[in-house]
Amino acid sequence: MSDATLAIATRDRAPLVRRFLVPLAGLAAERGWDVVVVDQSVNGATQALVEPAEGVRYLRSEPGLSRARNVAIQASTTPVIAFCDDDVEVAAGWFDEVLRLFDEHPQAGAVCGPVRTQAGRELPGVAPAEYRWPANPFRLGTGANVAVRRAALDQIGVFDEDFGAGARFHAAEETDLLYRIQRSGWTILYSQGLEIVHFEERTFGEELKLHYRYGYGSGALTGKHAGEDDGVWVRFSLAEIGHHLAWFGRSLVTGRPRAAAHQLPFLAGFGAGFARRRLARQATREYSSTNGRVAGPGA
């Protein structure tokens, strides 16, 4: 029986699947890992590329990144399940390093690592360390490079399908998961040894839309946890807003207008996501009250 599963979700990106996902899945299978690919494409191009691959289980699901990842979790039985995107490059040693870190850190519910672009730019992250509650979950890990202990998932549940690409709140699904993991008593380990390379090719306009979605998800997540009277999360969210305001100011002062421009849609998205989540929660409570039921804390 394998010790770990690599789960990859994909949707309508056959050229990237051919270039990145198929070699990554093959490498994982060579290292003795189970591999689950969850496809949400509208045509059969991805299926034709993935299904014949040796050691790879091909599944389908309805749209939504969190939904795809939950399908992979439910379809696997290994003690560790790792998530990567369909457009990343991972060194062969990454697989052994994931298992080594879990073995050496029995309290770690998840392990994460840095992500670099093909141009060599490291995406925002945190310093390598083992983070304990209460640690700020923002930038603590990314869904392109995170592995989770199944025992932690058994305790806290799976991804919230309201969050992530293809869901109504667009992003922040991994931030929510890592926050719930550490809140339940597990640690989050961030290791430089788990660095991966992420393919990025976007226009400036696409970058602005992406940062709006990042902010939208983060704001909605704040609405979720604030609605549960979670004061710790509220403090983290205020710190995150301050971080982006400071980043905006520093970018202007140091002559980086592109970086400064990214902060404005994030902040606008944060406000919009927070408002929508709060309105949705209020509507759920009013409906439940009208129908004689009490809404749950996560509504």
Residues 168-190: tens digit of each pLDDT: 999 999 999 999 999 999 999 99
pLDDT for residue 294 = 44
- Tokens read off for 172: 């922040």
What letter represents residue 134's amino acid? P
Number of H helices, E strands in the chain: 10, 11
Question: Residue 84: helix, strand or coil by DSSP?
Answer: strand
- On whether both 244 and 188 belong to a single domain, the answer is no
Does position 299 have pLDDT exceeding 50, yes or no? no
What total of structural domains would you count in the chain? 2
- On whether both 280 and 218 belong to a single domain, the answer is yes
Mean pLDDT confidence for 19-38: 96
Whether residue 297 lies inside any domain: the answer is no
pLDDT tens for 246-284 read: 999 999 999 999 999 999 999 999 999 999 998 877 656
Compute the C-alpha angle 201/175/63, nearest 5°.
Answer: 60
- On whether both 79 and 220 belong to a single domain, the answer is no
Statement: the pTM of the whole predicted model exceeds 0.85? yes
Whether residue 295 lies inside any domain: the answer is no
CA distance 73 to 250: 41
CA distance 183 to 165: 24
Does position 287 have pLDDT exceeding 60, yes or no? no
How, if at all, do strands 187-190 and 108-112 pair? parallel
- On whether both 60 and 46 belong to a single domain, the answer is yes
- On whether both 136 and 246 belong to a single domain, the answer is no
pLDDT tens for 103-114 read: 999 999 999 999
DSSP H or E segment with residue 181: helix 173-183
pLDDT for residue 126 = 92
Mean pLDDT confidence for 18-36: 96
Does position 295 have pLDDT exceeding 80, yes or no? no
Q: Which residue has the higher pLDDT, 279 or 191?
A: 191
Domain that holds residue 214: 204-290
Residue with tokens 């025992």: 151
Q: Which of 210, 199, 120 is nearest to 170 (CA)?
A: 210
φ and ψ of 137, to 5 deg = -80, -15
Query: Which of the residue ranges 7-11, 19-23, 115-119, 149-153 would you say has the lowest mean pLDDT?
Result: 115-119
* Other residues' Cβ atoms within 10 Å of the Cβ of residue 23: 13
pLDDT tens for 201-226 read: 889 999 999 999 999 999 999 999 99
Does position 82 have pLDDT exceeding 60, yes or no? yes
- Tokens read off for 119: 């141009």
**Are 11 and 39 within 8 A, CB to CB?**
yes
Mean pLDDT confidence for 38-52: 96
